Chains A and B, each alone.
Chain A
Amino acid sequence: MSGTFLFDGQPVPFTDGQTILQAARAAGHYIAHLCWHPDFPPHGSCKLCIVKVAGRHVSSCAMPAKEGMEVESNTPEINGERRALLQMLFVEGNHFCPSCEKSGNCQLQALAYDLEMLTPRFNHFFPDRPVDASHPEVLLDFNRCIFCELCVRASRDVDGKNVFALTGRGIHKHLVVNAESGRLADTDFSAADLAANICPVGVILKKRVGFAQPIGARKYDAQPIHVVAMQEDK
């Protein structure tokens, strides 16, 4: 089965089982997202992908497309909400972009530029999240975690290792690794794992390659994320 829905006023075709985000993407419309990844089932936690359907907000990464639905995405209202969600993610962690190895390759930073997030707006939480540098190949800087669980999912479903999990709840939720010591070095993690290469922000970082590619020549330096993300897909 298939059908058509309206995305910001333009007709978008879909096949049965496709979500709004998937169908929109296939038709060339970018919807902001952080926890969604084309190779994994939807997660639905970051809420950057919210759109409005018939006056109600839904997560476009998880909501199946339906015939005739009218989807609003690129509106001042929705983009304003997305910006506020980004501002929330920025104050919740410790993000010092100018000194971050991931700068220019980071989806959070790129979305902040894209959605014109010019100020931090809310009070910073300044959480205490110690770095784990125990592993010979990889550094974990928890200060930037946005809890997309991509590393959790990749390690569990693709690498078959279950290196990562979340514990705590609410604002105290945090990432842990699969070792009684709590140290990455004491797990079977390797830099070749998919989980080592999937973090959209700067938490899981390979050692000794941080600035091999200079800032200015990175993924989102020349073109905004809504352009880069759509090129990658093709």
Chain B
Amino acid sequence: MSQHDPVRVAEDVCLRHRRDRTRLLQVLIDAQERVGWLPPPLLTAIAAQLDLPRARVEGVAGFYSFLYPRPVGRYRVLFSDNITDRMLGAPALMEALCGKLRVEPGKLSEDGLVSVATTSCTGMCDQGPALLVNGRPLTRLDHARIDQIAELIRRKQPLDAWPAELFQVDDNIRRRDALLGLSQQPGEALAAAIARGRDGWLEQMHLAKLRGRGGAGFTTAVKWMACRDAAGADKVVVCNADEGEPGTFKDRVLLASFADLVFEGMTLAAWAVGARQGLLYLRGEYRYLLDGLRTTLARRRAAGLLGQGILGEAGFDFDIDIHLGAGAYVCGEESALLESLEGKRGTPRIRPPFPVTHGYLGRPTVVNNVETLAKTTLIALAGGTAFAATGTAQSTGTKLLSISGDCARPGIYEYPFGVSVDRVLEDCGASDVQAVQVGGASGVTLAGYEFHRRIAFEDVPTAGAFMVFDSSRDMFEVARNFVHFFAHESCGFCTPCRVGTALLEGYMDKLAAGHGAKMDLADIEWIGRLLKNASHCGLGASAPNPVADTLLKFRPAYERRLKNLDFEPAFDLDAALAPARRITGRDDPGAHLDTAQETSQ
């Protein structure tokens, strides 16, 4: 701890963040990078530096999966636990790595060298199985790679000395349309929008009828106008790059290879609403993109596309800062994201008020998805009417799909809205398909008889995930994986979600262990309804979707697991008596409970 004197570290890091309390999360991330974890005295010192109650700092440190208030290994290995990674063999690979390193999953090795555990979807489903080692993604795992990793860790090789190809992440763009096929110079769209004037630009956005690509599908122009018209001159544009939905990775590709379009979109939003400050919230899993994004920002500043008087337009001042997340799916929910940006726990806020009037630090704020913002450049360049000419009446333009699972060509596909599921399946080389999960864990599970349906807000809406399951897959296990995901990612604020997701997890595990009964299915349905009705935010409301859909469409996958059609306890009564038998030294028939006989009576 000597080179990590907590007071020194806290002082250094807090100073680098100007002792700004709203940067608490960034401070904790940096401090942890220096020390490896967040020891209690370090939290105390950070609290003192920022003049915050220590308990609040502890509260934030305890909220995010990638912050460690307890010691972890010098090498922290986290296997992506999304269902597609599992289908590609992640559990066996994790077991192999644990075996080679002689460490138990979730535990710290005795020498403190390594810890191996799972994490929620890392957004690498097109090149899984994937893992993060000290925050850096490693893709296309197989046993050879696992051997290599184990050896590198055993030899204590610093990450920078690991072979670069281990860290290679591909874009896998398979189908380009308007956005991915665009060739434009940075600033071109911006110049076009400036030429139209602020109102003229918003008018084009109206004509385009662009709807948000982050899931809810709110009309972007309406959101922008509400923010522009809100009281207060200090407006903010936030880019939601949290992309935590299992099976989604299109924002990753946009940020990796089309960052100029994303930042230009943010600047276009700033031009429309009159914002001077922009924030991009980058999920912790995509931290490896940070340097590249900062370079792009610097280049744009140098080109006069950010900063004072953008493109020579007096009074058009706008700049962008990047904040890092630290492993919390709920922070993609826009009000939780704002809390996180303010350096707090990512708990969704009460609405009203809405972010467009009371957002970041109480200021009027536009929160938009990465893809939404990138799309606005198309509108600036070609005009709203041209944009609205593709897609469907209520869903204009194109949509990026992140395709993974059982198909020959996983990756990114850009289609005009209205494309049928059948067509997508054909293009990505999927055969013998049993089900498609559209929109990720919180989306819908489509069965074969629905593959004629269309991807559009009018029919099957999606934030971008498209996971394919062939007939060899067990849809119960798919749903169980998602239930575990939601239980892990619930922020815990409201009763129905905090307790309900944990209960659902218990029921699904009970079924998986072969102890299910019909009454459990009824309970699952009832808890699901309660979650949908009473939850505080979209996480709890959508958490029961995969179970509800699969129960409806793949019921035999559940019924197969029922031991009893009526009631079945979660535990074995006779086994529970074993300690009593041991203590009393009895093992005669009278000391046993014949549960099988009782239930059959």
List residues of chain A with CB under 8 Å of any chain B CB.
Answer: 42-48, 50, 57, 59, 62, 64, 81, 84-85, 88-89, 91-92, 122-123, 125, 146-147, 156, 162-173, 176-180
Contacts and interface: CB of A to CB of B under 8 A. Distances in A.
B499 A91 contact: yes
Contacts of B506: 123
B20 interface: no
16 contacts: A44-B494, A44-B536, A45-B494, A46-B494, A46-B495, A85-B496, A91-B503, A92-B499, A122-B523, A123-B570, A165-B55, A170-B491, A171-B487, A173-B498, A176-B62, A180-B41
B309 interface: no
| Nearest 6 A/B pairs, CB to CB | A167-B62, A165-B55, A162-B53, A173-B492, A88-B499, A178-B55
B345 A169 contact: yes
- The residue among A122, A169, A179 with the most chain B CB atoms within 10 A of its own CB is A169
Nearest to A86: B495
A21 to B, nearest CB: 13
A178 B332 CA distance: 29
A32 to B, nearest CB: 12
Contact of B62 (A47, A92, A168, A177): A168
- The residue among A81, A84, A91 with the most chain B CB atoms within 10 A of its own CB is A84
B376 interface: no
Interface of B: 40-41, 43-44, 53-56, 58-59, 61-63, 328, 345, 350, 352, 487-496, 498-503, 506, 523, 526-527, 530, 533-536, 570
Contacts of A88: 495-496, 499-500, 503
A97 to B, nearest CB: 19
Given A147-B492, A180-B41, A84 B533 contact: no
Contacts, number: 121
Contacts of A125: 502
Given A169-B492, A172-B492, A180-B41, 6 more contacts: A42-B350, A44-B536, A85-B530, A165-B56, A176-B58, A179-B55
A92 B55 contact: no
A170 B502 CA distance: 8
Contacts of B523: 122
Contacts of A89: 495, 499
B534 A47 contact: yes
Contacts of B530: 81, 84-85
Contacts of A123: 503, 506, 570
- The residue among B490, B495, B534, B536 with the most chain A CB atoms within 10 A of its own CB is B495
A176 B43 CA distance: 13
A57 B534 contact: yes
Contacts of A62: 350
A122 B58 CA distance: 31
A173 B391 CA distance: 44
A47 B55 contact: no
Given A44-B494, A91-B499, A170 B488 contact: yes
A119 to B, nearest CB: 13
Contacts of A166: 59, 345
Contacts of A48: 495
B534 A81 contact: yes
Contact of A57 (B498, B526, B533): B533
Nearest to B505: A171
Nearest to B532: A57
B520 to A, nearest CB: 10
B487 A45 contact: no
A44 B43 CA distance: 29
B3 to A, nearest CB: 21
Contacts of B502: 92, 125, 170-171
Contacts of A85: 495-496, 530, 534
Given A123-B570, A147-B492, A44 B350 contact: yes
Contacts of B40: 180
Nearest to B499: A88
A47 B500 CA distance: 13
B485 to A, nearest CB: 11
